[in-house]
Amino acid sequence: MSTPSTAEQPATENSKMSAGSLAMAWYGLVSAMFFIYIGASLAQAYGTIDTLIGLAITIILYGAINRILAGYALKHSLTVAQFSRTLLGSKGAMLATLVFAATAIYYAVFEGAILGYAFQTQFGGPIELWYALVVLYTIPLIAGGIQRWLDKVNGWLLPIYWGGLLVAVIWASVAHPDGGAWLTHSPGALPFTAGGPGWLATCAAFMGVWILMMYTMDFAALGRAKDVKFHQRYTFGWLFYTLAFGVNSLIGIYLTFTIPGAEATETGVAGALVQLMGPLGLLVVFVSQTRINTANYALGIANLREFAQRALHLSLPSLAWVGIGATIIYLLMLLPVVKYLLLALSWQGALVTGWVAIALVHIFVQERRGGIVPSGSLPDSAFPALNRAGVAAWVLSAAAGITLVQSGSPWASNIGSLATPVLAALIYGALIGRSRSEAGLPAASLAGR
């Protein structure tokens, strides 16, 4: 029982995950309580209609981008860590792996904290105890990595999750029949100077979750190339994001505006479910957080291990990394990390969206030029230490985005999320257009052309 690092992929096509198993594993992410919360929070701030418009645009954008990234990862069996060596160089790729690990661990902390709060709401007791329980029961589920348990766990729990939410909506409708204002809620037009319009602010907020693009590549790398059409259409495409963002957000908005006292806060929706349905509400939250956190833990710990091995040359047994990752997650849960969710999303958006833009430009240019796609099994020595085009595009775009976010201006924060990937794409496209050597191909590939 070991958690494979992101560099360890199945040796043959037959040993990879089947289409159904990979789809079930990936659909664990559909049930994040975060998606329910963020939809309700945005509707409260910008109005339901503007939020729904922003969600529609977001779903279209996510589906299109992940169709490309999933197809590339499936065809070439490349994880984020492996692909980043081409984009950023062998040393630069370490930063991408670290950002991936830190973000996945942050989400593990956030989703775990919600479950801990739900346990405390139902049973009382110190929150530290419930945090410890959440971490301890998750460890056995992820000790074998994505391929061992994730598809089975998510397959078993998926009907409970959607069935529980359906019951919650019906229960809330019967208990509070006067809650019909959820669809018409509007705080008034939001001017540009305050971060508006609302639909644009919604799109910008969801760009903070572009880490799912990195999740997509690591999951897709476990699949079979012959299943690429299936996965692009059903697993990583618009269907998934319609459910994850669209349906979850609608449920969150409805419950928040229907249940008296429910708040669109980090733990408010989970608390409202428990208060409304008691143990059944707790079961819904438990299933939701178990499904999403198995993925967060597995990817966070795998990329943490990958970074430590490459950057620090630290080689430890896989089970040791599970213990280290779980300890880090528990200690972070004791800090007020959850309170800084929106700020963290803005920073993550500035970092991750730049990487995604560079990846898309590289794939486009490589396909047009007919370049060789470096194998994930190539050693680091086959790549330059730093790919100047990729590093310059990522650093400059991220610096610009973070500067806008930290300016304190609402409009600058939203524009920062939107401008970062555009800037990264323009810089990377301009630099790799100067010469073939700037396209990020490893030395071994160039020598053979």
Dump pLDDT digits (tens) for 311-346.
Answer: 888 889 988 999 999 999 999 999 876 666 667 767
Report the chain's C-alpha Rg in angstroms: 21
Dump pLDDT digits (tens) for 83-126.
Answer: 999 999 999 999 999 989 988 998 899 889 889 998 998 899 99
pTM of the model: 0.86
Q: How many residues does the chain have?
A: 449
d(CA 394, CA 399): 8
Residues 6 or more apart whose Cβ sits within 8 Å of residue 363: 68, 69, 72
Residue 145: per-residue pLDDT: 59
Dump pLDDT digits (tens) for 344-377.
Answer: 767 777 889 999 999 999 999 988 887 788 888 8
Cα of 171 vs its chain's centroid, Å: 30
CB 374 within 8 A of CB 85: yes
d(CA 441, CA 383): 7
d(CA 321, CA 2): 9
Angle subtended by helix axes 151-175 and 248-258, to nearest 10 = 30
CB 115 within 8 A of CB 123: no
**Is the pLDDT score of 393 beyond 90?**
yes
- Mean pLDDT over each residue of the chain, to the nearest integer: 85
Dihedral Cα 139, 293, 117, 38, nearest 10 deg:
170
CA-wise closest residue to 445 among 86, 7, 83:
86
Domains of the chain: 17-348 (1.10.4160.10)
CA-wise closest residue to 411 among 122, 117, 191, 238:
191
CB 253 within 8 A of CB 241: no
Burial of residue 336, with CB atoms counted within 10 A of its CB: 0-12 exposed, 13-18 middle, 19 or more buried: exposed
